[in-house]
Amino acid sequence: MRILHVTDCYPPRLGGIETQVHGQATRQRAAGHHVEVVTATPGHGEVRAGLDSVDGVPVHRLAIRLPAELPVIRLEDAGMAAQMVDYCCHELLHLAGRHHDYAALQAQRRWHEVDALPRESLPVGVLGLGVLGGHVARALAAAGWPVSGYSRTARTIEGVRTFDGPGGWHAFLAATRVLILMAPLTPATENLVDADALARLQPGGWLINVARGALVVDADLLAALERGPLSGATLDVFRREPLPAEHPFWTHPRIRITPHVSAPTRIAESAAQVADKVLAMQRGQRPSGWVDRARGY
């Protein structure tokens, strides 16, 4: 069996498997087993959080370039969902408590109280209701936040107002003040959050991107922060990672940056899930997480 392993770790490591590195391709064989793992890494020794391309091919187009008979299977959750919830809750509480205002006041050495924002005044919209997005939407709704969700096809989530398809896009944005991006990067979602989308959010909005940087048009985000309706943004992912030192996001007073750490992959959970999927295929079963190449995820 041959497995293509896409990773942002160089050199790649899989416990108990002999590794040989040849440029950007690594072949690993498990002693005593007919398993070969072919690993693709983004660059010659470059380590970065978040993998955008393999040998110049964007990841969301990688499945299209592979042989048609080769199945592509993605990890599902693998310990990331709970971390995503914690990250998003932290940012929502930071926003509701006006802590960004207090940080500015501290820099001015001013002792001044500002009114906190009640949760009902911060309707949350989750873009992407897959395994991770659905988990985040349910958790935020259970915590008392008003939550809407948008997906390509219709979904039902208890406590969440859902929108879908082209006809639901503008209504979803109009119902949202805090937009959380959880969608995969595909040809349909690339540059989806542009000037038009941002202008449709409720005034005083906030963007939280824990998905992929290329979902957002950077210049349009900066313009929305300057002219409205956005009051700020929390960005964990970027078009290029690490984020270049000269990028204007670094010094913008209303942008909070973290280095792609909202949900690190947990090795134990991931390894168990990969093993289960491989065993299912060996039994002739179709494992969950099978990528639909026409959709790109």
Annotated catalytic residue within 177, 200, 256, 260? 260
35-47 b/e (C-beta count within 10 Å ≥ 16 → b)? eebebbbbeeeee
| Three-state secondary-structure class, residue 273 | helix
| Three-state secondary-structure class, residue 74 | coil
Q: Extract the tokens encoding 278.
A: 């491989």
Active site residue 212: yes
Active site residue 260: yes
How do beta strands 36-40 and 25-30 pair? antiparallel
How do beta strands 230-235 and 160-164 pair? unpaired
Contact 172, 195 (CB under 8 A): no
Q: Extract the tokens encoding 111.
A: 């002792």
Annotated catalytic residue within 60, 177, 212, 256? 212
By the 10 Å C-beta count (0-12 exposed, 13-18 middle, 19+ buried), 279 is classed as exposed
218-252 b/e (C-beta count within 10 Å ≥ 16 → b)? bebbbebbeeeebbbbbbbbbbebebeeeeebeeb
- DSSP notation for 100-168: HHHHHHHHTT-----PPPPGGGS-EEEE--SHHHHHHHHHHHHTT--EEEEESS---BTTEEEEEHHHH
Residues assigned a catalytic role = 212, 260
